[in-house]
Structure 1
Amino acid sequence: MDDGMLTTPEDRRLAYNRIEGAGPGVVFLGGFKSDKEGTKALHLEAWARAAGRAFLRFDYSGHGTSSGEFTEGTIGDWAADASAAILALTEGPQVLVGSSMGGWISLLMARQHPERLAGLVTIAAAPDFTEDSMWAGFSDAQKAELVETGQVALPSEYGEPYIITRRLIEEGRDQLVLRAPLEISVPVRMLQGTADADVDMSVALRLLDHLEGPDIRLQLVKGADHRFSDETCLALITTTVEEVLGHA
């Protein structure tokens, strides 16, 4: 087990936990304002340790115990963090497991570093959510507040309100993945709950329709919510990762 801090080219310090093992390795990419100590990350780590598989989990800047403030970050910053972690802390192609925002970031990795991708598993992937969910869902008053003050507070069922910055929204427009063709040559498995209140099933269907590749599948789980963390869902995640590894 290797626990440490990685300094990125942008001089951000990322906390990580790494297990040495067989390749292709598995990298967990967490969601918006989540961290590497979440249920899915720890479940995958336990699975990797038992399987003798290389594994990496880390905190984006402004998340968990990494440096920086959450409100200072953008999708591009967090994608750069993921790129730095994958390039510095793993060897060869990896199976990326992206949860929610991590699903978006995994797609950016597939576009930017296809040579480092052995497979892709997304869990309630939320590509382009800053534009299609947040900005599109804002009232005229919220949009005006964001432009005038630089931020707006959104209620969250996960704790304190989310502070959404104008920079997050505007920079997110440079990272959109559903506006241009995206071809992925490695196996892709998308997992989506039908009771997800944060990412509608229509997003998963849109992503399925958008991606091009020889081996892309979407599995819907009736009744599963956005957390996708009960025992059944966790077992499905590891089974799906094993399936992708078998085709990698």
Structure 2
Amino acid sequence: MKKIHDTLKTANDNSIAYIYEYSPKNKHNLIWFGGLNSDMHGTKAEAISEYADLNNYNFCRFDYSGHGLSSGNFEDCNISDWLNDSINILDNICNGQQIFIGSSMGGWISLLLALKRKNRVSGLVLIAPAVDMTEILMWNNFSDNEKNTINKKGYIEIFSDDYPPYKITKNLIDDGRKYLLMNQKIPIDCPVKIIHGIEDEAVPWDLSIELTKKILSNSITQLFIKDGDHGLSRTSDLDHIFFSVEQIIKKI
């Protein structure tokens, strides 16, 4: 199986770093969508790469603009940029129908891409999907003082034990409002698997229950892991992800 490390030049002169592992003989295709402030070398992405290699599945992963090895500054980017990165990778690098595997923000991006490229998606595996995160998880949870700061300065700084300090911009919040899904039915009819940890402190697990109600597909399975956190990167968690992919493959 070939393993290509390269960059894709986009129409707006961005460079999107990606890794594409494939063989023309392989029948099934997987594409990974990471979370906010993550990169394509995270634990889950690396584990799925090994799993895909063992099972002769093509696998593509990439860094969003302002992430990892891709061009751009994180603070200048928004959901439109990251969705366009995803469209560019899908349209120009990946062949055939794909199983979209999206983690956290990548779950939201996966859904948005599935709506734009319905003929290219054969199934969705959504891991702690942070759907509408800019509104539900960010803006709605900001204090009045934080909202005033972001409106005046254009950003607020976020401090986390897991990441270096980073900025959430007004641009990100405002742009995210163009892509809100939880206020409507979501016309996706392919198989969907949702995996969420009950101990997730970043994305409440009940958001996945509400998401299930919004997606129109009749083939949706939810898995809640009682002691699972947001990362879901333990061996047992990864096995659940692999099993979900296999269940979708059986249906296509």
Q: TM-score, normalised by structure 1?
A: 0.98
Instruction: Look up the SS of the partner of 1:198 in the other structure.
Output: coil
Note if contact 1:9-1:84 (Cα within 8 Å) is conserved in structure 2.
no
1:129 aligns with 2:133: yes
1:64 aligns with 2:97: no
Instruction: Look up the SS of the partner of 2:114 in the other structure.
Output: helix
What is the rounded CA distance, in whole Å, between the counterparts of 1:157 and 1:104 in structure 2? 24
The residue number in structure 2 matching 1:87 is: 91
What is the rounded CA distance, in whole Å, between the counterparts of 2:115 and 2:84 in structure 1? 13
Shift of 1:53: 0.7
1:226 aligns with 2:226: no
The residue number in structure 2 matching 1:33 is: 37
Q: Report how many aligned residue pairs link the two structures.
A: 248
Moved over 3 A (4+): none
Q: Which structure 1 segments of 5+ residues have no match? A: none
Larger % of strand: which? 1
**1:81-230 equivalence runs, <5 A:** 81-230=85-234
Shift of 1:151: 0.4
Give the residue type in structure 2 aligned to 1:115. Answer: N
Note if contact 1:20-1:54 (Cα within 8 Å) is conserved in structure 2.
yes
CA distances 1:193-233 after superposition (whole Å, capped 9, x unpaired): 00000010111111011111121111101110000001100
The residue number in structure 2 matching 1:20 is: 22
What is the rounded CA distance, in whole Å, between the counterparts of 2:189 and 2:28 in structure 1? 16
1:44 aligns with 2:48: yes
CA distances 1:44-90 after superposition (whole Å, capped 9, x unpaired): 00011111111001000100000001111101110110110011111
Shift of 1:13: 0.5
Shift of 1:34: 0.2
Q: TM-score, normalised by structure 2?
A: 0.96
What is the rounded CA distance, in whole Å, between the counterparts of 1:186 and 1:207 in structure 2? 15
What is the rounded CA distance, in whole Å, between the counterparts of 2:165 and 2:216 in structure 1? 37
Shift of 1:23: 3.0
Give the residue type in structure 2 aligned to 1:2. Answer: I
RMSD: 0.9
The residue number in structure 1 matching 2:57 is: 53
What is the rounded CA distance, in whole Å, between the counterparts of 1:206 and 1:157 in structure 2? 28
Give the residue type in structure 1 aligned to 2:13. Answer: D
What is the rounded CA distance, in whole Å, between the counterparts of 1:234 and 1:168 in structure 2? 30
Q: Which deviates the most, 195-204 or 21-30?
A: 21-30
Instruction: Look up the SS of the partner of 1:169 in the other structure.
Output: helix
Instruction: Look up the SS of the partner of 1:159 in the other structure.
Output: coil
The residue number in structure 2 matching 1:77 is: 81
Shift of 1:161: 1.9
Shift of 1:102: 0.2
CA distances 1:132-189 after superposition (whole Å, capped 9, x unpaired): 1100001111000000000001221212122100000000000111122212121100
Instruction: Look up the SS of the partner of 1:171 in the other structure.
Output: helix
